[in-house]
Amino acid sequence: MHEALIECVPNFSEGRDPAVIKQITDVIEAVEGVCLLDVDPGKATNRTVVTFVGPPEPVLEAAFRATRKAAEVIDMTRHKGEHPRFGATDVLPLIPVRNISMEQTAELARGLGRRIGDELGIAVYCYEHAATRPERRNLA
């Protein structure tokens, strides 16, 4: 049987400085078992969409480390871009890929959110399938 795989597609509030983006993607790539698939910076939005995949535990660890690094290297008091944003790590969706349900993935997302809040002191709002309140289910 194949192991479970999940994908993470965080959006970071930096799309113009390749050195800052690389610091964030370096911590993702440093986690064994994680495969960085894509890095898509946008100058106008000043936002980078990153895509990586792997077994749940390594992906969760990479997501945590990337969130921590983004908070260290992105100054939101000076951020400007065309896209609305919540923080240095703007969204951090987890997507089931193989041998894991959306419900299980949503539970992993809630656990990751708790860890980010507890260890980094960053406010986390779960949405869509991971929402803890009905009004957060759809952010559109």
User: Which residues are identified as catalytic?
Assistant: 83
Q: For the CA atoms of 34, 25, 12, 82, what is the dihedral angle to 10 degrees?
A: -130
Rounded CA separation 92/85 (Å): 12
What are the helix (H) ranges across the chain? 18-29, 56-73, 102-115
Q: How far is CA 65 from CA 11, 23, 72, 73, in A?
A: 14, 11, 11, 12
